[in-house]
Chain A
Amino acid sequence: MRHLLSTADLDRATAIHILDTAAQMAATQSREIKKLPTLRGRTVINLFFEDSTRTRISFETAAKRLSADVINFSAKGSSVSKGESLKDTALTLQAMGADAVVVRHQASGAPHTLAHAGWVDGAVINAGDGTHQHPTQALLDAYTIRRHLAVAGGAGGGGTLDPSGRDLAGLKVAIVGDVLHSRVARSNVLLLRTLGADVTLVAPPTLIPVGVEAWPCRVSYHLDDVLRAEQPDAIMMLRVQRERMGAGGSGGGAFFPNPLEYTRGFGLDARRLALLPEHAIVMHPGPMNRGLEISADAADSRRAVIVEQVANGVAVRMAVLYLLLAGDAAEPKLVDERVGIA
């Protein structure tokens, strides 16, 4: 694994390895001394073209906990401005000697271009590109689901049994919201499927992309039906943008008549919460629109793991940084070391 650009590039073994490594990292984060010397001397650059304090801080924390040096570069570029291009920025960073570049960009494919254009030498980690992929979010989501649910039988309260080495086979996950514009949805559908889970997308028809027929998941326009019939073990609510919901401004291009109708049809409220099985967990990548896609009741319920997702994000990103940076750069493959080399 030389870069992390898309969950499509992760096979089952690699995905499980990342989750297991994240578990070890998480263990270190409950100590008093949370810092490890592992990536001492390595430089990680956060290259964020899109505003995102949460994700950037999460990556920064992860890098610093592994003793790497962190440089934050925030370049707010509009898609039309050619002032400082992606290429020029990358070449500047290369001159600073980056071992890894964590990039968030509004253009789908920008991290792929960065990784393959030859402008930078280091590892490229996609922190979210346009509507394409957000692989570390999907990994922390899978980690969270596994921690709570992946015990024998597939359902059961969490945390006491060690889920190392396990996948998500037999689990059912519902992803609800603006799938069309969601990189989180795309990353999750692929990764959850790779780990053996069953995924159902729930959204109004206007927010389901043409071409979804090729995705390894089910699609439904009716949230209540999915809750009753499938009894998902985890429900993931996607953030919905008010402007897209016909709340003024988008004219005929709104995807929905108004936010209220959206919430009525697709919002997770107390009534829908009660339809879920006892053990089910409620997830959200954040930031939440309380009252739009998720009610305050649901967000604050004991089944919501939204805050824990954030903590898990640091452990998962520590794992990704470790796996991409710690080993021999010329031979960047994962090795399950078994031999007693003396």
Chain B
Amino acid sequence: MTGSTRYVLRGVAPLGGEPTDLLLADGIIAAIGTDAVRAALDTDVSDRARGMAHAGSDTEAVEIDGAGLVALPGLVDLHTHLREPGREDAETVASGTRAAALGGFTAVHAMANTTPVADTAGVVEQVWRLGQDAGWVDVHPVGAVSVALAGEHLAELGAMAASAARVRVFSDDGKCIADPVLMRRALEYVKAFDGVIAQHAQEPRLTADAQMHEGIVSAELGLTGWPAVAEEAIIARDVLLAEHVGSRLHVCHLSTAGSVDLVRWAKARGIDVTAEVTPHHLLLTDELARGYDPVYKVNPPLRTAADVEAVRAGLADGTIDIVATDHAPHTREDKDCEWAAAAAGMTGLETALSVVQQTMVDTGRLTWADVARVMSSAPAAIGRITGGDRPQGRPITVGEPANLTLVDPAARWTVVPEVQATASANSPFRGRELPGRVVATFLRGRATVLAGQAVPQADAGSPGAAGSAYPTTARNA
């Protein structure tokens, strides 16, 4: 390819505002507004006529009819499980990131609980390279906090930070950093490189063999309960630790009303804490466990209707900063069995935006501009990827990288897990009709999704943006 394709997006509504035209060229947003776009295109034409070809100008720009579509900055997921290395039977970096692109994402943070665990520079660089090779989204590996996620010794956080993967988010997700001294050390240590500890808040002894939320439903079903206090007690401890050592803390998949209250209190005190909520916790409750269908088994568990309302309110008022999918694919064997034997986790990359639209936008609690904040700019900020070589979560203005997703909010579709791009079928939204469809996704001006379909990444090795700092294999750019 001698130059990258240019795209003209006609009549899209950036952040749900007034419809306008956008020109994507050379990996950036080259022009906004009908006149500006025309002028830019005319410049190209006259340059060609004068023999001053420059990259991308030798082909016609591709027009995309964006009537009725909302343009959002490419979504950034701070919490995804890509399962590779180790559990490629459930998902690979390639299949997972393709699913992410179809869900409107242009960057994902891949959690460290792989096999082997991502607790060294070697493993995180491997994951980072796999993401590059696949080319669907930018993959930012998350580094483990403790060696082998054992919760005993700090992993080589510095080495991971300095590696090619430039890890900034560290988490033992899947497990809780329960030892208060280890948590303190980790919070202190990452200050040196502006890292953040993302805690999976689950007191292990209070949740020994826990299967679902502890409450009326669990008492009836005879399933061991996972009490809300096991999440809240850890959050309470960690925000105070973060305050004491002057570090920042991120709370993964917040699920209870009490947790929302704690984060609200901590922020009012000036503690540097951020929090995420998953799409499934915005919609589903523990009543779904009644059929003993393990597709509803997840960690932290589905909670009560009161908790669902509290996290929605928390997301709306900014107490909860972002939505993160906690996309957790599992093979059929791990879910096609009795509840206690089943793995915990739900897929979510391809349904996240729709669920957020249904629960928060269509109910009037968030605008599309808010969605851009909670699903793009804020997660990018927490992950420290708003700058550097491949910035994400940037505003839709001229000169910014063309990381965009176009959404049709009027579309309705039914979730059929078997036809989803993710390699696993454990979606809790099976059979549900959801609003909003991702029509197109652009990663630095290159289309990864067009007309709702993934665009095969034939030349996935090339970064698709001029002037990349990352070395590529020797080939013509």
* A105 and B219 contacting across the interface, CB-CB below 8 Å: no
Instruction: Give CA–CA (A214, B287) in the complex, Å.
Output: 14
Residues of A contacting B217 in the complex (Cβ-Cβ under 8 angstroms) = 211
Q: Tell me whether B227 is interfacial, beta carbon within 8 Å.
A: yes
- A sample of 8 more A-B contacts (CB under 8 A), given A211-B216, A214-B216, is A86-B338, A130-B222, A130-B223, A132-B223, A209-B219, A210-B215, A210-B218, A211-B218
Q: Tell me whether A24 is interfacial, beta carbon within 8 Å.
A: no
Q: Tell me whether B19 is interfacial, beta carbon within 8 Å.
A: no
Q: Tell me whether A110 is interfacial, beta carbon within 8 Å.
A: yes
Residues of A contacting B338 in the complex (Cβ-Cβ under 8 angstroms) = 86, 105, 107, 109-110, 113
Specify which of B205, B215, B223, B340 is in contact with A253 (CB 8 Å cutoff): B205
Q: B170 to nearest A CB, angstroms?
A: 29
Residues of A contacting B36 in the complex (Cβ-Cβ under 8 angstroms) = none
Residues of B contacting A87 in the complex (Cβ-Cβ under 8 angstroms) = 336-337
Instruction: Give CA–CA (A261, B333) in the complex, Å.
Output: 45
* B222 and A133 contacting across the interface, CB-CB below 8 Å: yes
24 CB contacts below 8 A, A to B, read A79-B341, A87-B336, A87-B337, A108-B222, A108-B339, A109-B222, A109-B338, A109-B340, A110-B338, A110-B339, A112-B292, A113-B292, A113-B338, A130-B340, A131-B224, A132-B221, A133-B222, A210-B214, A210-B215, A210-B219, A211-B216, A212-B219, A213-B216, A215-B219
Q: Tell me whether A92 is interfacial, beta carbon within 8 Å.
A: no
* B208 and A82 contacting across the interface, CB-CB below 8 Å: no
5 residue pairs, one from A and one from B, having the closest CB atoms: A132-B222, A211-B219, A109-B292, A107-B340, A108-B222
Q: Tell me whether B379 is interfacial, beta carbon within 8 Å.
A: no
B125-144: which have CB < 8 Å to A? none
* Chain A residue, CB-CB nearest to B206: A253
Q: Tell me whether A116 is interfacial, beta carbon within 8 Å.
A: yes
B323-373: which have CB < 8 Å to A? 333, 336-341
* A86 and B337 contacting across the interface, CB-CB below 8 Å: yes
B198-255: which have CB < 8 Å to A? 205, 208, 211, 214-225, 227
* Chain B residue, CB-CB nearest to A209: B219
A199-213: which have CB < 8 Å to B? 209-213
Specify which of B208, B219, B221 is in contact with A109 (CB 8 Å cutoff): B221
Instruction: Give CA–CA (A132, B225) in the complex, Å.
Output: 13
Q: B408 to nearest A CB, angstroms?
A: 37
* B214 and A211 contacting across the interface, CB-CB below 8 Å: yes
Kindly supply a per-residue 1/0 record for chain A positions 120-133, scoring 1 wherever the CB is within 8 Å of any chain B CB and 0 otherwise. 00000000011111
Q: A196 to nearest B CB, angstroms?
A: 21
Q: Tell me whether B467 is interfacial, beta carbon within 8 Å.
A: no
Number of interface residues of B (CB under 8 A): 25
Q: Tell me whether B471 is interfacial, beta carbon within 8 Å.
A: no
A234-288: which have CB < 8 Å to B? 252-253
Specify which of B223, B333, B337 is in contact with A113 (CB 8 Å cutoff): B337
* B219 and A107 contacting across the interface, CB-CB below 8 Å: no
Q: Tell me whether B270 is interfacial, beta carbon within 8 Å.
A: no
* B291 and A183 contacting across the interface, CB-CB below 8 Å: no
Known: A107-B338, A108-B339. A82 touches B219 (CB 8 A): no
Residues of A contacting B227 in the complex (Cβ-Cβ under 8 angstroms) = 210
* Chain A residue, CB-CB nearest to B219: A211
Residues of A contacting B216 in the complex (Cβ-Cβ under 8 angstroms) = 211, 213-214
Instruction: Give CA–CA (A295, B225) in the complex, Å.
Output: 32
Instruction: Give CA–CA (A186, B217) in the complex, Å.
Output: 13
Instruction: Give CA–CA (A209, B221) in the complex, Å.
Output: 11
A66-121: which have CB < 8 Å to B? 79-80, 82, 85-87, 105-110, 112-113, 116-117
Q: B296 to nearest A CB, angstroms?
A: 12
* B223 and A108 contacting across the interface, CB-CB below 8 Å: yes
Specify which of B220, B225, B340 is in contact with A79 (CB 8 Å cutoff): B340
Residues of B contacting A186 in the complex (Cβ-Cβ under 8 angstroms) = 220, 222
Q: B306 to nearest A CB, angstroms?
A: 14
* Chain A residue, CB-CB nearest to B339: A109
* A253 and B208 contacting across the interface, CB-CB below 8 Å: yes
Instruction: Give CA–CA (A194, B311) in the complex, Å.
Output: 38
* B340 and A106 contacting across the interface, CB-CB below 8 Å: yes
Instruction: Give CA–CA (A209, B222) in the complex, Å.
Output: 10
Kindly supply a per-residue 1/0 record for chain A positions 35-49, scoring 1 wherever the CB is within 8 Å of any chain B CB and 0 otherwise. 000000000000000
Residues of B contacting A110 in the complex (Cβ-Cβ under 8 angstroms) = 338-340
Residues of A contacting B218 in the complex (Cβ-Cβ under 8 angstroms) = 209-211
Specify which of B208, B222, B225 is in contact with A210 (CB 8 Å cutoff): B225
Q: A33 to nearest B CB, angstroms?
A: 40
* A107 and B208 contacting across the interface, CB-CB below 8 Å: no
* A129 and B225 contacting across the interface, CB-CB below 8 Å: no
* B341 and A214 contacting across the interface, CB-CB below 8 Å: no
Residues of A contacting B337 in the complex (Cβ-Cβ under 8 angstroms) = 85-87, 113
Residues of B contacting A117 in the complex (Cβ-Cβ under 8 angstroms) = 336
* Chain B residue, CB-CB nearest to A78: B341
* A183 and B222 contacting across the interface, CB-CB below 8 Å: yes
Instruction: Give CA–CA (A24, B341) in the complex, Å.
Output: 41
* Chain B residue, CB-CB nearest to A211: B219
* Chain A residue, CB-CB nearest to B208: A253
Residues of B contacting A109 in the complex (Cβ-Cβ under 8 angstroms) = 221-223, 292, 338-340
* Chain B residue, CB-CB nearest to A210: B214
* Chain B residue, CB-CB nearest to A130: B222
* Chain B residue, CB-CB nearest to A106: B340
Among B211, B217, B220: residue with most chain A CB under 10 A: B220
Specify which of B215, B292, B339 is in contact with A211 (CB 8 Å cutoff): B215
Q: B331 to nearest A CB, angstroms?
A: 11
Residues of B contacting A108 in the complex (Cβ-Cβ under 8 angstroms) = 211, 221-223, 292, 339-340
Instruction: Give CA–CA (A323, B225) in the complex, Å.
Output: 35
Specify which of B214, B220, B223, B291 is in contact with A214 (CB 8 Å cutoff): B220
Q: A252 to nearest B CB, angstroms?
A: 8
Q: B67 to nearest A CB, angstroms?
A: 46
Residues of A contacting B220 in the complex (Cβ-Cβ under 8 angstroms) = 8, 186, 211, 214
* Chain A residue, CB-CB nearest to B289: A109
* Chain A residue, CB-CB nearest to B217: A211
Kindly supply a per-residue 1/0 record for chain A positions 183-227, scoring 1 wherever the CB is within 8 Å of any chain B CB and 0 otherwise. 100100000000000000000000001111111000000000000
Residues of A contacting B211 in the complex (Cβ-Cβ under 8 angstroms) = 108
Kindly supply a per-residue 1/0 record for chain B positions 172-201, scoring 1 wherever the CB is within 8 Å of any chain A CB and 0 otherwise. 000000000000000000000000000000
* A116 and B225 contacting across the interface, CB-CB below 8 Å: no
Residues of B contacting A8 in the complex (Cβ-Cβ under 8 angstroms) = 220
Q: B238 to nearest A CB, angstroms?
A: 22
Instruction: Give CA–CA (A213, B215) in the complex, Å.
Output: 10
B289-341: which have CB < 8 Å to A? 291-292, 333, 336-341
Q: A180 to nearest B CB, angstroms?
A: 9
* A82 and B341 contacting across the interface, CB-CB below 8 Å: yes
Q: A177 to nearest B CB, angstroms?
A: 16
Instruction: Give CA–CA (A268, B309) in the complex, Å.
Output: 46
Instruction: Give CA–CA (A132, B220) in the complex, Å.
Output: 7
* Chain B residue, CB-CB nearest to A252: B205
Q: A232 to nearest B CB, angstroms?
A: 23
Instruction: Give CA–CA (A214, B221) in the complex, Å.
Output: 12
